[in-house]
Every structure is written in C-alpha cells, then in structure tokens.
C-alpha cells in the first residue's frame, strides 16, 4: 500500500505538531509527505495540476493533514481541491480515478477534544465539522477512514506523545480492518525495528502472550483508542 499525505499548513516550518508527525513517518518507504506550502513555496498559483493528479493516481491512501482553522482546513487545501479534483477526474460516475482508494483526515486542534460535542464549548462534534470530507469520499467512491484527531499537542506528556507516535504510524501505514492479533504483531514489529528500547521486556511479553496486555498500559490504551468511537 502506498500513502500520500497532503499537508496544508501556512506556518508548517514553525509547527511542533507537524515536525513531530514528519519525523514519525520517515521510517516508511511507501509514504509520500507532500506539503503544499513548502513544495510550492507558499504560492499555490504555481499548483501543477497534472503532477497532483498523478500523485493521487499512484497512491492507494490519500490523507489530508491540517490544523483546524475556523472549523475548516486552511485555504491552500481548499484551493487544491477546487483545482485538482475536477468532476471527470473525481466523480465515480465519470472517470472516477479515485474510486476504491482510501481518504483519511489528520487534523490538529488547539482546544480540548471534549469541547467538540453537543453541549460542549463548541457544541458540534468533529465528525459533524468534517462531514464535507465524508461527502467527498462518497462522491468519489473512496473509503472514508475514521479521522485522527490531535488535540492540544503542546500540552502532551511523553506517554501521550508515544501513543500518538504509534497511532499516526498505524494510520498512515496499516490496513483499516486489522484484527487484534494483527495489531499486536504490527506493534511488535514497530517496537523491534523502530524504537531504541533499553530492554526487550515489552516485546518479550507481547510475544509470550498476545491476549494478556494488562501490564502494558500504553499498549492497552492504544488498542482501545482504535476500538472506541
């Protein structure tokens, strides 16, 4: 599976969140990091439509990644959508060249996720706010992935960042319908190949008993996040 991450962020070079995510994906050969602001030097009038369409055709999973600005993505992603996603290219009833691909959303918010719910400070859920992307996926015949929400990154402790590190890697690189055993095997592989651990106790425990993770708090929390919602 090949993944294209399209980042829309007018201040990406100063973003701690985006720097963290970019470092997270470097270990994957089949992931393309495509920053609209960086790659077009903050001038979306230079947008290469044919190049953008070719990127979309070459990849199986398309991820829009952006900070939530006034309940929407920054302007660069909207301009990209307006110019690249033409009717004949996108609509499943026409050429439908995105049909069967996956569409994911990774968005960062400055407020607590608890604010985004009925009766909360914002009074709308993020699922409601992101409905336009679901509609896009439906019209294009794409499979819409459950969005990955990053709330208040600057306040995260090391454990929370660790969970985000794993969650993001899973989001960009693994199939959506992994069962529990497949998730555990994937986690073992990541711990074995991508982490500098002081000892192998976590890996050994996972290998010995894949059904009993009570003593591995971070891993349990990670698995639960995938099953909730």
Residue-level pLDDT at 93: 87
**Percent of the chain topping pLDDT 70:** 76
Q: Is the pLDDT of residue 187 over 80?
A: no
Query: Residue 40, SS3?
Result: coil
Q: Average model confidence (pLDDT) for the chain? A: 83
**Average pLDDT over every residue of 180-193:** 64
DSSP string, 84-95: HS-HHHH-TTTT
**Taking the model in full, what pTM does it have?**
0.79
Range of lowest pLDDT (10-14, 154-158, 204-208) = 204-208
In this predicted structure, what is the pLDDT of residue 148? 95
pLDDT(196) > 60: no
Say what angle helices 49-58 and 75-84 make with each other, to 10 degrees.
90
Whose CA is closest to 9, among 60, 80, 58?
Answer: 80
pLDDT digits (tens, 9 = 90+) for 106-164: 999 888 788 877 777 877 788 999 999 999 999 999 999 999 999 989 888 888 888 88
Structural domains present in the chain: 3-156 (3.40.50.360), 178-229 (no CATH)
The sign one gets for the Cα dihedral 165, 171, 173, 176 is: positive
CA gap 111, 123 in Å, rounded: 13
Mean pLDDT, rounded, for 199-215: 46
Find the mean pLDDT for residues 18-39.
90
Decide if pLDDT at 47 tops 50.
yes
Of the listed ranges 27-36, 64-73, 91-100, 182-191, the least confidently predicted one is 182-191
Report which secondary-structure segment, H or E, holds 131. Answer: helix 131-140
> What pLDDT score does 186 carry?
64
């Amino acid at each position: 599976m090949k993944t294209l991450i399209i980042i829309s962020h007018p201040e990406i070079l100063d973003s701690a969140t985006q720097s963290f995510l970019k470092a997270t994906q470097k270990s994957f050969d089949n992931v393309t990091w495509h920053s609209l602001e960086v790659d077009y030097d903050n001038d979306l009038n230079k947008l290469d439509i044919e190049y953008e369409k070719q990127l979309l055709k070459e990849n199986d999973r398309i991820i829009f990644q952006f900070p939530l600005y006034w309940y929407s993505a920054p302007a660069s992603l909207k301009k990209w959508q307006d110019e690249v996603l033409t009717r004949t290219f996108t609509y499943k009833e026409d050429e439908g060249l995105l049909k069967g691909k996956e569409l994911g959303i990774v968005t960062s918010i400055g407020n607590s996720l608890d604010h985004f719910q009925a009766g909360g400070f914002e009074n709308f859920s993020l699922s409601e706010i992101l409905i336009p992307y679901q509609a896009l996926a439906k019209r294009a015949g794409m499979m819409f992935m459950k969005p990955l929400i990053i709330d208040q990154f600057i306040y995260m402790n090391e454990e929370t960042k660790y969970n985000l590190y794993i969650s993001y890697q899973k989001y960009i690189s693994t199939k959506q319908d992994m069962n529990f055993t497949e998730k555990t095997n994937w986690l073992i592989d990541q711990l074995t190949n991508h982490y500098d651990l002081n000892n192998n106790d976590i890996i050994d425990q996972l290998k010995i008993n894949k059904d009993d993770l009570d003593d591995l708090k971070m891993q349990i929390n990670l698995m639960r996040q995938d099953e909730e919602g």
